[in-house]
């Protein structure tokens, strides 16, 4: 396929170029170089063994963009171009709304006029605001963003959904990235922002290399093990591969789909500093500073049980993390067989978690679910929620809820099917 990459000279775009080429696609880059340099494209060319057509165009420039479409017939667009710094967006809201919103409006309009209606959009975990559910699933309520940058992503998701609703020839994949870090194994491209880095890792590398004196750790009074903010750091090459998968997905599936791109593991700022020091044998000086405006305490993705590539151990770890602070069971269909906690799980079983234990709706194991719920509910508990995860079979999850109702008649048991509905119950169940 021939794919347009807006913002393709940037950090994620340059890594994605390599993965798309390896997957057999042809790419063209449009970038205004506001936060990048054409050198990254030269280095990509060296890695992939060919030049990538590049146009220094601002996507808000309708005529400039049309000229690119006059020269190429695109099958799809991966839309990276945008301003992305959480803190800066609080100081410069107008610039963020203007660039991110207007840029996308012009791009989508030019795309449809030229008959290109497949888009992969760089959205962000910031759309979840201060997340209602940790770890975060795609069903987590979104839209109450804590900063203007997140608002632009959330609003653009709505705009793109409306565009698709009005014209079902559009296929749109919204990718909500967590925190991409790292670099291509060649070491020739990576994250090299202009000016003072806003993101943690490029700042840490500049302190380590002596370019900056110390890192300011924004807040150590969050309710976290060491008080510093927790994020889900995903390797940029894994993220880049996610885009090649999203292109395949959009060609095979109609409509709009949303995917989180994270690892399901959260690390604090000091965890990251310590890991960096250990891995590189260097010291990273830091000072504790006040919290940064627009920041939240923690943000990491849930590992979906539906991930067919997850190993049994990853699934187990994902389940254990997924239950977190939520006093409820999550149910989801198993996509492959495995054995966890001594329980054999068959493909298609409805599997769930209660606290940190695995349950399935198989008759033999409902007993085990009931024992676990017994451990979970205290004398003061009056409410339990069973949350049917995306794709899980309603009848199967009903088996567990019915069995719980019978065994614990004093409990009010709710079976919930959507994130909006579950939200108030999670907290009343705490």
**Interacting residues with ligand NAD (CB under 6 A):** 6-7, 9-13, 31-36, 58-60, 80-84, 99, 103, 122, 124, 177, 179-180, 199
Which span sits near ligand UFG by CB under 6 A: 111-119, 209-217, 365-373, 404-412? 209-217
- Provide the mask over 39-78, with x wherever binding to ligand UFG is found by CB under 6 A and - wherever it is not: ----------------------------------------
Return the closest-CA partner of residue 29 out of 100, 101, 99, 78.
78
Residues 314 and 306 sit within 8 Å (Cβ to Cβ): no
The Cα–Cα gap between 423 and 25 comes to 41
Residue 175 Cβ vs ligand NAD, minimum distance, rounded to whole Å? 8
The Cα–Cα gap between 206 and 301 comes to 28
Eight-state DSSP code of residue 136 = B
Cα–chain-centroid distance for residue 131? Answer: 12
Residue closer to ligand NAD by CB (options 82, 131) is: 82
Residue 151 Cβ vs ligand NAD, minimum distance, rounded to whole Å? 12
Residue 275 Cβ vs ligand UFG, minimum distance, rounded to whole Å? 13
Question: Does 178 interact with ligand UFG (rule: CB under 6 A)?
Answer: yes
Residue 11 contacts which entry, ligand UFG, ligand NAD, none (Cβ below 5-8 A, type-dependent) = ligand NAD
Task: Residue count of the chain, please give it.
Answer: 430
The residue within the footprint of ligand UFG, chosen from 36, 179, 205, 263 (CB under 6 A), is 179
Please tell me the number of Cα atoms within 13 Å of 315 on its side-chain side. 24
Question: Does 125 interact with ligand UFG (rule: CB under 6 A)?
Answer: yes
Specify the residue for token string 């049917």: 388
Residue 99 contacts which entry, ligand UFG, ligand NAD, none (Cβ below 5-8 A, type-dependent) = ligand NAD
Specify the residue for token string 């100081």: 91
Residue closer to ligand UFG by CB (options 65, 215) is: 215
Name every residue whose Cβ is closer than 8 Å to that of residue 89 and which is 6 or more positions away in sequence. Answer: 83, 96, 147, 148, 149, 150, 152, 294
Question: Does 199 interact with ligand UFG (rule: CB under 6 A)?
Answer: yes
The residue within the footprint of ligand UFG, chosen from 25, 79, 142, 231 (CB under 6 A), is 231
Question: Does 207 interact with ligand UFG (rule: CB under 6 A)?
Answer: no
Lookup: tokens for 21: 């080429």
User: What's the Cα-to-Cα distance from 162 to each of 87, 127, 140, 426, rounded to whole Å?
Assistant: 29, 17, 20, 30
Which span sits near ligand UFG by CB under 6 A: 160-168, 211-219, 239-247, 349-357? 211-219
Residue 299 Cβ vs ligand NAD, minimum distance, rounded to whole Å? 11
The Cα–Cα gap between 59 and 391 comes to 38
Name every residue whose Cβ is closer than 8 Å to that of residue 422 and which is 6 or more positions away in sequence. Answer: 328, 385, 387, 416
Note the residues at the interface with ligand UFG (CB under 6 A). 84-86, 124-126, 177-179, 198-200, 203, 215-218, 229, 231, 269, 292, 295, 299
């Amino acid at each position: 396929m021939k794919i347009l990459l807006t913002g393709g000279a940037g950090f994620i775009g340059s890594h994605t170029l390599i993965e798309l080429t390896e997957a057999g696609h042809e790419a063209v880059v449009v970038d205004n170089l506001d936060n990048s340099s054409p050198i990254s494209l030269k280095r990509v060319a060296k890695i992939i063994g060919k030049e990538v057509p590049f146009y220094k165009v601002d996507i808000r420039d309708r005529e400039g963009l049309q000229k690119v479409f006059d020269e190429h017939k695109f099958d799809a667009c991966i839309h990276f171009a945008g301003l992305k710094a959480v803190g800066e967006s609080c100081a410069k809201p107008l610039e963020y709304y203007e660039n991110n919103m207007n840029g996308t409006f012009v791009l989508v309009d030019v795309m449809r006029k030229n008959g290109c209606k497949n888009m992969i959009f760089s959205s962000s975990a910031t759309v979840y605001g201060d997340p209602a559910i940790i770890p975060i699933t795609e069903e987590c309520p979104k839209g109450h963003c804590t900063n203007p940058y997140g608002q632009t992503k959330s609003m653009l998701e709505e705009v793109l959904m409306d565009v698709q609703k009005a014209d079902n020839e559009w296929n749109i994949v919204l990718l909500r990235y967590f925190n991409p870090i790292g670099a291509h194994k060649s070491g020739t491209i990576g994250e090299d922002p202009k000016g003072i880095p806003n993101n943690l890792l490029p700042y840490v590398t500049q302190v380590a290399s002596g370019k900056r004196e110390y890192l300011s750790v924004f807040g150590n009074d969050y309710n976290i093990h060491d008080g510093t903010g927790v994020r889900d750091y995903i390797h940029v090459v894994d993220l880049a591969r996610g885009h090649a998968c999203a292109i395949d997905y959009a060609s095979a599936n109609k409509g709009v789909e949303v995917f989180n791109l994270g690892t399901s593991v959260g690390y604090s700022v000091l965890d990251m500093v310590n890991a960096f020091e250990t891995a590189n044998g260097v010291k990273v000086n830091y000072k504790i500073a006040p919290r940064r405006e627009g920041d939240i305490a923690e943000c990491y993705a849930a590992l979906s049980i539906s991930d067919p590539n997850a190993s049994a151990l990853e699934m187990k770890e994902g389940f254990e993390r997924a239950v977190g602070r939520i006093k409820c069971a999550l149910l989801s269909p198993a996509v492959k067989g495995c054995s966890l906690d001594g329980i054999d799980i068959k493909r298609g079983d409805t599997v769930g978690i209660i606290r940190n234990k695995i349950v399935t709706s198989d008759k033999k194991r409902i007993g085990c679910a009931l024992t676990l719920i017994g451990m979970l509910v205290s004398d003061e508990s009056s409410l339990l929620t069973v949350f049917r995860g995306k794709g899980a079979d309603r009848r199967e999850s009903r088996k567990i809820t019915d069995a719980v109702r019978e065994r614990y008649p004093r409990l009010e048991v709710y079976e919930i099917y959507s994130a909006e509905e579950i939200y108030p119950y999670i907290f009343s169940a705490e």
